[in-house]
Amino acid sequence: MEMQQVRYFLSLAHELNFTRAAEACGVTQPALTKAIKLLEGELGGPLFYRERTQTHLSELGRMMLPHIAAIEAQSNAAKEQAKSFAKIEDLELKLGTMCTIGPKVLSDLIVRFHSDFTDVVLAIYDSEGYAIIDSLINGELEIAILGVPGTLDERLHAIPLFRERFVVVLPPNHHLVSQELIRVKDLDGEPYLNRVNCEVFAPANKVFIEQGVNTPMIFRSERDDWVLGMIRAGMGWGFFPEYCAIPDDLPVRPLIDPQFDRTISLMTMRGRPHSPAVGAFVRAVSAHNWPTSTT
């Protein structure tokens, strides 16, 4: 059953006149008659009885009328939904970000995007990197900003945004504050406060072990603010991305020999249809002035 047959049938059922129905549909009467006959052949019987002065629905026609009307209603609803989808309004864009990416890096981008697309609700979900990737693959998120070590899942498409170093955060009165740069070997024996969600902990720990550097872990937390609070209290040093929300009263020093860094990328699923809001956000991200490493 073709949609033009649906339209011709409903018009004829309303007009009960082939000439007026054809005019209403913008076709010739023979074209409408031919389409109705094809539909009758498909449904297995006459849908209309055409008499000399009157046309009326057959029993089969009356039976089919609500079903065919429902087909048109569903088609119209689908078209309206598609039109609404194509407009960047009344949409929620689900963005995943790693909890280790500081808000100050994203705030200007989000404010500008909201200013340009006021009808889009930007919902941000933060978690550790691999959980964000799982949510993106499973369709729970539409787009993500993150950076994790290792080979990227081939189903993901990544647009690199910026690189950032990892830095050492020290208590204000720590003896290493006097150094402009801190080498891995300088941290030997220094108490370490661990951020549970640090995605480079494993590769960094391997390097520390290879260099014979022992930094006893005396505190762990999933919350960066707790780790920073304990650093301020003098418990030990911490290992943070340089653009993390580090309070101004805590000394920050670059870590070298070796240096650790990460690439933050915008990620989407390859081949997955996306809403116009996703396309708009990708363009905004691509045009954004991302930071450059200064430490």
Domains and CATH numbers, the chain: 3-85 (1.10.10.10), 91-163+263-287 (3.40.190.10), 164-261 (3.40.190.10)
55-57 and 217-221 beta bridge pairing: unpaired
Looking at residue 38, its pLDDT comes to 93
Whether the Cβ atoms of residue 184 and residue 291 lie closer than 8 Å to each other = no
Measured between alpha carbons, how far is 266 from 289 in angstroms, rounded to an integer?
Answer: 14
Which pLDDT band, with edges at 50, 70 and 90, does 54 fall under? confident
Q: What value does the mean pLDDT take over residues 61-78?
A: 87
Looking at residue 87, its pLDDT comes to 53
The tokens for 78 are: 């689908």
Measured between alpha carbons, how far is 65 from 292 in angstroms, rounded to an integer?
Answer: 66
pLDDT at 101 > cutoff 90:
no
Q: Three-state DSSP class for 172? A: coil
The tokens for 66 are: 């609500």
pTM value is 0.63
Average pLDDT, the chain: 88
Single out the residue of 113, 88, 198 nearest to residue 147, CA to CA.
198
Measured between alpha carbons, how far is 218 from 215 in angstroms, rounded to an integer?
Answer: 9
55-57 and 48-50 beta bridge pairing: antiparallel
Looking at residue 84, its pLDDT comes to 53
Q: Within 13 A of 176's CA, how many CA atoms are on the CB side?
A: 25
pLDDT single digits (tens) 25-52: 999 999 999 999 999 999 999 999 987 7
Q: What are phi and psi of 192, to 5 degrees?
A: -115, 135
Question: Which residues pair with residue 219 across a beta bridge?
Answer: 193
pLDDT at 293 > cutoff 70:
no
Looking at residue 39, its pLDDT comes to 92
Single out the residue of 106, 103, 131 nearest to residue 266, CA to CA.
106
The tokens for 184 are: 């891995």
Greater confidence, 53 or 276?
276
Which pLDDT band, with edges at 50, 70 and 90, does 147 fall under? confident
pLDDT single digits (tens) 178-211: 999 999 999 999 999 999 888 888 889 999 999 9
Which pLDDT band, with edges at 50, 70 and 90, does 81 fall under? low
CA 200 remoteness from chain centre: 24
Greater confidence, 158 or 151?
158
Looking at residue 179, its pLDDT comes to 94
Whether the Cβ atoms of residue 89 and residue 120 lie closer than 8 Å to each other = yes
